[in-house]
Structure 1
Amino acid sequence: MKLFHFSKDAAIHTFFPRVKENRQNMPPVVWAIDDAHEFTFYFPRDCPRIVYTKGEGILEEDHRRFFGLTGADIVITVETHWYERIKNATVYRYRLPVESFRLFDEIAGYYISPETVKPLEMEPISNLLERLMGLNIDVRFTPNLNPLREAILNSSLKDFGMHRFENAGNR
């Protein structure tokens, strides 16, 4: 397994534990994502997106509604006005040593470390949409993510993530 941290900053030499704005109840940690889930960060940092995956226990009705017209097992939906920013973005993938990290969220692939971490290497990642499509991920665009959010929250889907949703369009 490999662990990564994605950033818009190409010059990070040390990752220091910090308290995340949306996780004020946690102690300071360094966050990482495993290689199986890194694709969820092939977006500009503040880009709101919904990622969902086929999983056990999806009702047939929900399977048809969310996966009926795709051969992909993973769907990522983004608001349309982010298209150009995604298309032109470069993100920086830092590979981190795994020793001090522990699993935080298995479904999302998140790991945390209470220790200061020095990256092993950094790689710029561009052509983000092409990378996603090369992984057989169904990338969709919509004017507003909120109807999809409500549909997912009222469905039998269990394997989903809503990233940077505070930046999504009005409800």
Structure 2
Amino acid sequence: MRLFHFSEESVIDVFVPRVKANRTDMPPVVWAIDEEHQFTFFFPRDCPRIVYTRSEGLTPEEEQRFFGTTAANIVITVETGWHERIRQTTLYRYELSPESFELFDEYAGYYISKETLVPLAVKPLPDLLGLLVELGIELRFTPNLHPLREAIQQSSLRDYGIHRFQNAQADTRP
């Protein structure tokens, strides 16, 4: 198994466990993601996005609504205002030894470690949109993520993630 940590910082010599701002109920940890789910981090850190995957249990209407115009099994939707930042961002993928990690969330591919870690390797990723295209992921842009979030939360779609939504544009619908 390969585990990664993504950053916009090009030189991180050591990963020290810390308390995550939105998980203050947890002890300090180092977060990592598995290779299968790493694509969910091919974005600038604060970029709000919704990721969803074709899965069992969708009604025919919802299958049409969320996947009717695509052959892709994974769709990621980002607000239009982030397009240029995504194009210009180079991320750094740090590979971490999996030995001290324990599974935190199987669906999302998240792992945590309570140990201080030195990365095994670091690789720059300058073409984030190209990486997503190579994986056959459909990337959609929309002026506002709120309508999609509401539609997903009211649907039978269960295989989804909503990332950094606190950074999304305000819902300006009447």
Deviations 1:33-61 (A, max 9, x none): 00000011110111000000011212221
Unaligned runs of 5+ in 2: none
| In structure 1, distance between residues paired with 2:136 and 2:64 | 19
Give the corresponding residue for 1:136.
136
Tell me the amino acid that sits aligned with residue 42 of structure 2.
Y
| In structure 2, distance between residues paired with 1:27 and 1:57 | 36
| In structure 1, distance between residues paired with 2:73 and 2:137 | 7
| In structure 1, distance between residues paired with 2:39 and 2:148 | 20
Tell me the amino acid that sits aligned with residue 49 of structure 2.
R
Structure-to-structure mapping, 1:122-133, within 5 angstroms = 122-133=122-133
Structure-to-structure mapping, 1:6-17, within 5 angstroms = 6-17=6-17
| In structure 1, distance between residues paired with 2:59 and 2:118 | 44
Q: Indicate the larger mover: 55-64 or 90-99.
A: 55-64
Deviations 1:5-34 (A, max 9, x none): 000111101101111001111111100000
Give the corresponding residue for 1:151.
151
Matched, 1:103 2:103: yes
| In structure 2, distance between residues paired with 1:103 and 1:57 | 26
Deviations 1:137-164 (A, max 9, x none): 0000000000000000000011111111
Tell me the amino acid that sits aligned with residue 78 of structure 2.
V
SS at match of 1:92: strand
Deviations 1:92-127 (A, max 9, x none): 000000000011111110000111111000000011
Give the corresponding residue for 2:161.
161
TM-score (norm 1): 0.98
Q: CA deviation at 1:3?
A: 0.1
Tell me the amino acid that sits aligned with residue 76 of structure 2.
I
SS at match of 1:116: coil
Calculate percent identity across the aligned residue pairs. Answer: 63
| In structure 1, distance between residues paired with 2:56 and 2:118 | 38
Give the corresponding residue for 2:113.
113
Q: CA deviation at 1:79?
A: 0.2
Give the corresponding residue for 2:22.
22
Aligned residues: 171
Give the corresponding residue for 2:47.
47
For the aligned residue pairs, the C-alpha RMSD in angstroms reads 0.7
SS at match of 1:99: helix
Tell me the amino acid that sits aligned with residue 7 of structure 2.
S
SS at match of 2:152: helix
| In structure 1, distance between residues paired with 2:86 and 2:149 | 21
